[in-house]
Amino acid sequence: MNLYEGIYERQSIRRYRMEGIDTKIINNILKYASQLESLSGNCRTGFRILAWQNIKKHRMGVFSVKAPYYLVLFCDSTEEAMLNAGYLLGQLDLYMVSRGLGTCFFHGAKKLCAGENGMSPMMALAFGKAEPLYGRSIRRTRRLPFSELCIVKEEIGKEEKAMLEAARLAPSSFNSQPWRFVAYDGRIHLFCKREGWAFSGRQGLHYLNMGIVLAYLFVAAEEFWYSPEAVRVENILEKQLKRNEYVVTVRFK
């Protein structure tokens, strides 16, 4: 299975076999993480894998997920760094899925460990072997329909549509799916819905979500042999939008 196929396979796994994984697999995950390219040169990141034995379980919080391992991503606390964190973790999650592992994003990374090199533990991915019957017995979490998420300003090709369809399936905190897409002139403009709690005190999660959907767009674009790049378009940035916040534009080379 490759990363693109992983998009159609994955779902959050919250019940794991509490057993170890081959060290080779753990090392491959860290190697894959270290080779990922950041969205911009300004973003520092670090990764660490923690085993269940090394975690202070009593501090994990309400939305905790019990898993044999957690991959923790460290970064600065800026919007740009969090967008990048989501972008990297979105790919790492699909990498693990493509290797047959179960995963679940966990936003309580700060409860798992302290920061390092002046960076905060921003987000974690719980992972391990899924309980065999569990994965098959749970129903997939629904997503909003294409028509609610995408504005298509002109006829788009099959491949661009497939990229948007893949992005529609991206996971988000509380399944909030804050993304909105405008496909126009061979580019996809990405917006974030400005709504209620999403903008009050949860901005961090919000940028992580947008980073994840960006990763999905990139993975799908690469599946069709495009070279995507993320840019900020000045005249959209200047627009005052009531309901949405402009995040980034994906164009293809």
Q: Residues in the site for ligand FMN, rule: CB under 6 A?
A: 11-12, 14, 63, 65, 104-108, 141, 171-175, 205, 208-209, 212
Q: How near is the Cβ of 193 to ligand FMN at its closest, in Å? A: 15
- Residue 23 vs residues 17, 90, 92, 97, 181: alpha-carbon distances, Å: 16, 22, 17, 17, 40
Q: How many residues does the chain have?
A: 253
Task: Give whichever of 17 and 251 is closer to ligand FMN, judged by the CB atom.
Answer: 17
Task: Give whichever of 132 and 186 is closer to ligand FMN, judged by the CB atom.
Answer: 132
**In contact, 66 and 16? CB cutoff 8 Å:** yes
Task: Give whichever of 96 and 208 is closer to ligand FMN, judged by the CB atom.
Answer: 208
Q: How near is the Cβ of 179 to ligand FMN at its closest, in Å? A: 11
If we measure between CA atoms, which residue out of 15, 45, 2 comes closest to residue 127?
15
Q: How near is the Cβ of 233 to ligand FMN at its closest, in Å? A: 25
**In contact, 119 and 76? CB cutoff 8 Å:** yes
Task: Give whichever of 112 and 208 is closer to ligand FMN, judged by the CB atom.
Answer: 208
Q: How near is the Cβ of 21 to ligand FMN at its closest, in Å? A: 20
User: Is 99 strand, coil or helix?
Assistant: coil
Task: Give whichever of 8 and 174 is closer to ligand FMN, judged by the CB atom.
Answer: 174
Give the separation between CA 191 and CA 208, rounded to whole angstroms: 13
Whose CB is nearest to ligand FMN? 171
Q: How near is the Cβ of 108 to ligand FMN at its closest, in Å? A: 6
Lookup: tokens for 230: 């993320």
